[in-house]
Amino acid sequence: MCLAIPAVVVELLDGDSAVVDLDGVRKQVSLALVEHIAVGDYVIIHVGFALQRLNVDEAEQTLALMRQLGSDALGGASAIGALP
């Protein structure tokens, strides 16, 4: 029920809405719950509404930390490479 997915904003429309793209699937969503959204931003979509902007820097940092933790725990022997 609370499921929501990140999608990139490709076009801003009148009336506080936008077109988002999710792997080629385009959909119109409401921006009524968020502020200062620009084309190229990732937003988290839930039941046709953008709930929050996705912080891209934080996403990358979280992944880097996960990679480091795993690499340390595996003793560096099989260091986990960067994702494609």
Q: Are 25 and 53 in contact (CB under 8 A)?
A: no
Establish if 80 lies at the interface with other proteins (CB under 8 A): yes
Q: Does 52 bind other proteins (CB under 8 A)?
A: yes
Quick check: 6 binds other proteins (CB under 8 A)?
yes
Among 5, 14, 38, 40, binds other proteins (CB under 8 A): 5
> Which residues, in sequence order, are CB contacts of 2 under 8 Å at separation 6+?
46
How would you write 9-44 as a 3-class SS string?
A: EEEEECCCEEEEEECCEEEEEECCCCCCCCCCCEEE
Tell whether residue 39 is a contact of other proteins (CB under 8 A). Answer: no
Residues that bind other proteins in the complex, under the rule CB under 8 A: 1-6, 8, 22-23, 30, 32-35, 42, 44, 46-49, 51-52, 54-56, 58-59, 61-63, 65-67, 69-74, 80-81, 83
